[in-house]
Structure 1
Amino acid sequence: MSDAHPINRKSAFNMLFFIEFWERFGYYGLQAVLAMFFVKALNMGDAQSFIVFGAFSAMVYGYVSIGGYIGDKVLGTQRTIALGAIVLMIGYAIMAFAASGDQVEEYLVFVALGAIACGNGIFKANPSSLLSKIYEGDEQHLDSAFTMYYMAVNIGSFCSMLLVPIVGSMYGLSLGFSICAMGLVVAIGGFFSFRYLVKGVDSPAGKAPLSATKMALVVAGVIVMTFVSAWMLSHLEVAHVLLWGIAALVYGVFFKMIFQSRGAERSKMIAALILIVEAIVFFTLYQQMPTSLNFFAINNVEHSIMGIEIPDAQVFQTLNPFWIMLASPILAWMYSHFGDKGTDLSMPAKFALGMLLTAGSFLVVGFSAKFASEAGIVSAWWLVGSYFLSSIGELLISGLGLSMISKLVPQRLLGFLMGAWFLTTAIAAVLGGKVAALTAVPEGMTNSVETLGIYTGVFTDIGLVTLGVTVVMAFLVPVLNKLINKTDEAEEIPAMNN
């Protein structure tokens, strides 16, 4: 940042917080209702709905590496943020139009989802890359900054996951999706109004003059990929092959980068790769919130809490961002406080603790079956407790993932490897869809007593398997700490003695 104007970190952070709030407002509003929208509007079965949802989510995060590369090497970080937000706005607008008629056209829905996947892919890695550049040279406060940034994600998701399902049930989802589009209009306006706060903070490509040819090629590529993505949602086998192809390419490049690096840099990147693999397990479980856990809430959870009637059971998904909003400032303070004292938990230890809490969240829901009513309905408090555990686990893994990448990989590779981090969610989305399909209720089954056994049996199995993964992660903590703390100086001393 030597060639940049002096940056007010607080003001720059607030600007990024605002943009990320509205971008996530749009996305999570869509996510909250999408699986059930597939069932009701497109007449899909539960299992097919989960798998298509997983394929869409895989595209959303699978394209992020491409957006990171565009931000690093082609257009620059700030221009790529603006382009991604515009494409997202268009995608939500098409979705609103598709849902407005009496007969919902599947292909138009898939075109809208293709545009949203492309827009998210372009956008997603770049605000976090910009935040890392703003805090360059102040690593001890990076965990705190990214935790508060993650809170913006969850404030946005809380508001939209509360608003869109209720508006959709009362006035139709066309209006709900229109609200998502308006969120992006606000994000775009905010970015262009306050962009001066990050003047000079960009990738080398962003500091160079804008090339009209490069911009035209990127826009053309987005249009093509939108329609390709729509086609792939109707041909899921092709979508899965493409995802695994992208994953092989991205992680192949990651391996190449590791082998080309030396000393401490190589050790840190190896540690980052292992933590990324651990995160794939977490994100597979996270994908159950808008799918299997959502359907469990609809079919087997009491639709009231503390005497307050819940108008739409899909609103229970707001428990996730609710707990994160409450816990984020506390954890951010703890990271800064103990970081200043040098007594903060290491990143691998936080990941292992997060996985333990996630395992507990599924065991809690599985255990709830023992306290169900004769009608097969459980108290909403079991879901409240489950979401509390999984949300704290999410903060310890997903919330710190971007900080982990920022700390462990070189700045010259940051945008691309931010994309590699988000690709974990893409891989997990496909796996999560298949896991969720295990809970799919057979067609025609409406008895809550029978559906209770299906859901809670699978959730108990998930919790036990995750507990086993936690044990493995705990054993890896000292190994990863050694890799992360390795220094080049330690290698040079024996050489000097020889």
Structure 2
Amino acid sequence: MSDLNTFKQPKSFYLIFSIEFWERFGFYGMQAILTVYLVKILGMDESTSFVLFGAFSALIYGFVAAGGWLGDKVIGTKRAITLGAIILMVGYALLGVSTTSQHIGGSTLIFIAMGFITVGNGLFKANPSSLLAKVYDENDPRLDGAFTMYYMAINIGSLISMILTPIIAEKAGYGMAFGVSAIGLAITVVIFLAYLKMLKSVGSPADLAPVNKSKMLMVIVGSVIASFICSYLLQNLFLAHGILVIAGLAILFFYFKEALSMTGIERQKMFVAFILMLQGIVFFVLYFQMPTSLNFFAIHNVSHDLFGFSAEPEQFQALNPFWIMIASPILAIIYGKLGDSLSMPFKFAIGMALCALSFLVLSWGAGFANSQGIISSNWLVLSYLFQSIGELLVSGLGLAMVAQLVPQRMMGFAMGMWFLTSATAAVIAGWVASLTSVPSNITDANQSLVIYGDVFGKIGYTTAAIAVITFIIAPKLTKVSRGESASVAQPAEA
């Protein structure tokens, strides 16, 4: 019966599924080639492009909470989705135009494009899932299946675009490749507006109320202004990083102020949530290596074939959604068998160990390179397998962890804090990736292999040490997460 419920969904589900598919198609297609475009076409050095990409990703995640709030409280989720998709389409189109205007401000135009993508993604990202939850009545048995299939839409969209976009960039140019991302968002807007009547009675209170034209105009104008502000920040990274630090410290202050005002197990759960968020930062630092250091490692030092077929090096990123789709149902079965015996802190610890392995195998694989300094693509395939399963155990459970540990009254704030972990990690990831940057005067793959082997080894062993610590503290964290006191050394009568 549960299998039947998974696939027998209301028509409105398939509408939301399709718009998420096409939006992710556009986003991950852009992400797959952006750093390569910055280096190959705009002439940035690898280190600068990695740090810029880190700041760009941080701003993207930083705006998600704001977009969710605007959808819930101000203009409605459906209007936020539409506006976000349009702004994203403009951003991708501007990226495409920047490839043909190198001598008339193209370098400035790319920053404006990234600003629009930041704000558009922020408006869009949180709202389809919020809308999907409102399609179903409370305790509807189809809900779990719906979110499983929805997550599949994300991975199918990213898998297809990460395969297609690098080929288009190579054969038809980067302008056409970014144009494909813009087309994906145009399809999103057309489908959503054409079938919007399916969702007539679904949405946040702001959705169901008549459109407030003044509020809508303020959000549109504010989004355009915010896009240009983001563009300015991306051109002044010291200021962007400073704002992130100040925002992070302010959020930490309020989080711990609230936690310290609590007592007993509630306070302990808040501290456990914070520790798991720190582990989340470590994971996301590694996750953001895919479009940066791992991408360029594939370019410089990995044989350009995948499962026996010739491949563009940027296409290796498609291994992430590929392994996610294969591993997700297997993990679901394992979770079902184990029940509550495998707690969330232990899942985080296992995920961290797998992430350590994902970089260690690349460091070890460097020792098996041929005389030209090229390693078999199988090492990268294995690395992405470990990384992707680690993602399911850490990132895939992150929001569930927040919901389980944080009091209901702080849920929105804590969800925003979880997204802040991604933003913080994105900046750190840019700096970490810059350690692997190959100087432009190095053309010998054997020399670049030494750089990658050394840095990936340090990343892997550092993450392994963190994984050992997480395993050591996991039993105490488990007791707290299950509502037991961590102070088990004291007798019950005390």
Question: Structure 1-normalised TM-score?
Answer: 0.88
Q: 1:394-434, CA deviations, whole angstroms, 9 ceiling, x for partnerless residues?
A: 11111222333344446665555433322221111110010
5 Å matches for 1:16-415? 16-101=16-101, 103=103, 105-133=106-134, 138=139, 146-195=147-196, 200-258=201-259, 268-310=269-311, 312-335=312-335, 337-338=336-337, 342-343=339-340, 345-409=342-406, 414-415=411-412
Task: Call closer, same or farther: CA 1:242–1:73 in 2, change over 3 Å.
Answer: same
Q: Distance in 2 between matches of 1:75 and 1:362?
A: 44
Q: 1:318-376, CA deviations, whole angstroms, 9 ceiling, x for partnerless residues?
A: 111111121223323444x348xx44632222211111111001000000011110111
Q: Distance in 2 between matches of 1:465 and 1:141?
A: 42
Residue in 1 that maps onto 2:489: none
Q: 1:98-143, CA deviations, whole angstroms, 9 ceiling, x for partnerless residues?
A: 2234647111110010000011112222233344555785599977
Q: 1:145·1:332 contact (CA, 8 Å) conserved in 2?
A: no
Give the one of 442, 446, 449 matched to 2:443. Answer: 446
Q: 1:148·1:332 contact (CA, 8 Å) conserved in 2?
A: no
Q: 1:10-41, CA deviations, whole angstroms, 9 ceiling, x for partnerless residues?
A: 65544433222211111111111111111122
The gaps in structure 1 that reach 5 residues or longer are: 1-7, 489-496
Q: 1:146·1:402 contact (CA, 8 Å) conserved in 2?
A: no
Task: Call closer, same or farther: CA 1:348–1:14 in 2, change over 3 Å.
Answer: farther
Residue in 2 that maps onto 1:5: none
Q: Kindly, what percent of the aligned residue pairs are identical?
A: 49
Task: Call closer, same or farther: CA 1:290–1:275 in 2, change over 3 Å.
Answer: same
Q: Distance in 2 between matches of 1:135 and 1:479?
A: 37
Q: Say whether 1:432 aligns with 2:429.
A: yes
Task: Call closer, same or farther: CA 1:406–1:109 in 2, change over 3 Å.
Answer: same
Residue in 1 that maps onto 2:461: 464
Q: Distance in 2 between matches of 1:261 and 1:10?
A: 42
Q: 2:93·2:182 contact (CA, 8 Å) conserved in 1?
A: yes
Residue in 2 that maps onto 1:492: none
Q: Distance in 2 between matches of 1:190 and 1:260?
A: 48
Task: Call closer, same or farther: CA 1:157–1:306 in 2, change over 3 Å.
Answer: closer
Q: 1:71·1:205 contact (CA, 8 Å) conserved in 2?
A: yes
Q: 1:142·1:403 contact (CA, 8 Å) conserved in 2?
A: no
Task: Call closer, same or farther: CA 1:407–1:143 in 2, change over 3 Å.
Answer: farther
Residue in 2 that maps onto 1:491: none
SS at match of 1:107: helix
Q: Distance in 1 between matches of 2:251 and 2:127?
A: 17
SS at match of 1:291: helix
Task: Provide the alpha-carbon RMSD of the alignment.
Answer: 2.9
Shift, 1:192, TM fit: 3.4
The gaps in structure 2 that reach 5 residues or longer are: 1-7, 486-492
Higher relative contact order (CA 8 A, sep 6+): 1
Residue in 1 that maps onto 2:418: 421
Q: 1:47·1:436 contact (CA, 8 Å) conserved in 2?
A: yes
Letter in 2 for 1:321: P
Q: 1:56·1:233 contact (CA, 8 Å) conserved in 2?
A: yes
Q: Distance in 2 between matches of 1:431 and 1:46?
A: 16
Q: 1:47·1:440 contact (CA, 8 Å) conserved in 2?
A: yes
SS at match of 1:43: coil
